[in-house]
């Protein structure tokens, strides 16, 4: 008999257990191994989801558990989808989503294009650029709050230096027109490196011989850029856009740290509004319906994301 780990394990198995296992098929043994994971998945992911769907059709309030729970049908959904205030929150989220993705793609791709060119200190610059992405959103929110301070904030002083305005004459976080842009700036600062890294992976996946063939055909640098670089990087860019889109749709921590949803509700993104409905107003049934609407939207976007990911893999 060999002294392999399997034989030692077999020898150590009590005879009664060994007899039971011998009677099981491979499929049954595989199910025994997988069962704890499936149980955890059901308990942690699927059950709360089904419970939330169930609550979304009721008037349940988590702070009044003894109150009679009435089934209200689709009334919560109807109220959310006809509420002009929530529609405004959706628009604030759309503004945030559109501009963060726009700036992150433009700046991220430009940085990746520059970093892809071999130069001295290339690795050092990559590390420096990637640093913001490694910080916690709570930390980033706090120190940008200091940077945006009208009296002592560096950001205001830099803007004042270029525009000639008084640094304390404008307040980025307190102004209705500037606050939505202040959160766009911070998110762009933090997450552009992520888009840059994905674009860099795309740029580095383009084989040199394609450019060499284009050189032989006397294609100009501009034509090479538009007919080789952009089409080859596009699936990667799409991936970055979808990923950032899904993440920013759920944005909460950074904006809570910076503006708390204010001034008024100009920066109150859907996730902040949802938290207020659920844990400040305690409208649990209503908030559950709200969460399901957001979940279906993110799930739909995630489906497209998976499809795009498969296309990139096929390449």
Partner 1 sequence: MSNFFNGLMRLRRGPWEMVATILIGLGVFMLMQPFVLWAYTYSFIITLIGTVMFIIVSHFKE
- In the complex, what is the shortest distance from the CB of residue 163 to partner 1, in angstroms, rounded to a whole number? 29
* Nearest residue (CB) to partner 1, 13 versus 45: 45
- In the complex, what is the shortest distance from the CB of residue 203 to partner 1, in angstroms, rounded to a whole number? 26
Cα distance between residue 220 and residue 211, in whole Å:
10
Degrees to nearest 5, angle at CA 268 with 177 and 46: 150
- In the complex, what is the shortest distance from the CB of residue 305 to partner 1, in angstroms, rounded to a whole number? 11
- In the complex, what is the shortest distance from the CB of residue 176 to partner 1, in angstroms, rounded to a whole number? 16
What would the 3-class secondary structure string for 157-200 be?
A: HHHHHHHCCCHHHCCCCCCCCCHHHHHHHHHHHHHHHHHHHHHH
- CA dist list (Å): 143 to 147, 153, 180: 6, 10, 18
* Nearest residue (CB) to partner 1, 87 versus 146: 87
- In the complex, what is the shortest distance from the CB of residue 208 to partner 1, in angstroms, rounded to a whole number? 32
Residues 6+ apart with CB under 8 A from 305: 239, 242, 243, 246
* Nearest residue (CB) to partner 1, 214 versus 298: 298
* Nearest residue (CB) to partner 1, 112 versus 287: 287
If one counts every other C-beta atom within 10 angstroms of the C-beta of residue 99, the result is 18
* Nearest residue (CB) to partner 1, 195 versus 293: 293
Residues that bind partner 1 in the complex, under the rule CB under 8 A: 77, 81-82, 84, 87, 90-91, 93-94, 97, 293, 296-297, 299-301, 303-304, 307
* Nearest residue (CB) to partner 1, 201 versus 301: 301
- In the complex, what is the shortest distance from the CB of residue 27 to partner 1, in angstroms, rounded to a whole number? 22
106 near 190, Cβ under 8 Å? Answer: no
Cα distance between residue 25 and residue 233, in whole Å:
48
């Amino acid at each position: 008999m060999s002294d392999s780990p399997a034989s030692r394990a077999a020898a150590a198995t009590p005879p009664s257990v060994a007899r039971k296992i011998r009677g099981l098929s491979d499929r049954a043994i595989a199910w025994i191994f997988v069962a704890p994971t499936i149980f955890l998945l059901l308990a942690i992911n699927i059950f709360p989801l089904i419970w939330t769907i169930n609550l979304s059709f009721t008037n349940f309030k988590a702070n009044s558990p003894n109150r009679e729970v009435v089934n209200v049908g689709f009334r919560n959904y109807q109220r959310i989808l006809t509420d002009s205030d929530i529609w405004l929150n959706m628009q604030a989220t759309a503004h945030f989503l559109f501009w963060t993705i726009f700036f992150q793609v433009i700046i991220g791709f430009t940085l990746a294009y520059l970093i892809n060119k071999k130069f001295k200190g290339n690795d050092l610059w990559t590390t420096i650029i990637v640093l913001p992405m490694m910080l916690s959103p709570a930390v980033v929110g706090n120190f940008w709050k200091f940077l945006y301070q009208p009296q002592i904030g560096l950001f205001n002083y830099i803007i004042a230096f270029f525009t000639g305005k008084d640094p304390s004459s404008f307040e980025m976080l307190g102004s209705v027109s500037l606050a939505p842009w202040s959160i766009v700036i911070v998110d762009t600062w933090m997450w552009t490196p992520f888009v840059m890294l994905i674009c860099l992976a795309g740029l580095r996946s383009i084989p040199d011989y394609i450019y060499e063939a284009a050189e032989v055909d006397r294609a100009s640098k501009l034509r090479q850029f538009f007919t080789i670089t952009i089409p080859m990087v596009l699936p990667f860019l799409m991936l970055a856009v979808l990923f950032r889109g899904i993440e920013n749709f759920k944005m909460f921590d950074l904006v809570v740290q910076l503006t708390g949803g204010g001034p008024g509700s100009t920066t109150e993104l859907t996730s902040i509004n949802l938290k207020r409905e659920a844990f400040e107003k305690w409208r649990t049934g209503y908030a559950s319906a709200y969460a399901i609407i957001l979940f279906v939207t993110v799930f739909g976007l995630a489906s497209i994301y998976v499809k795009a990911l498969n296309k990139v893999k096929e390449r």
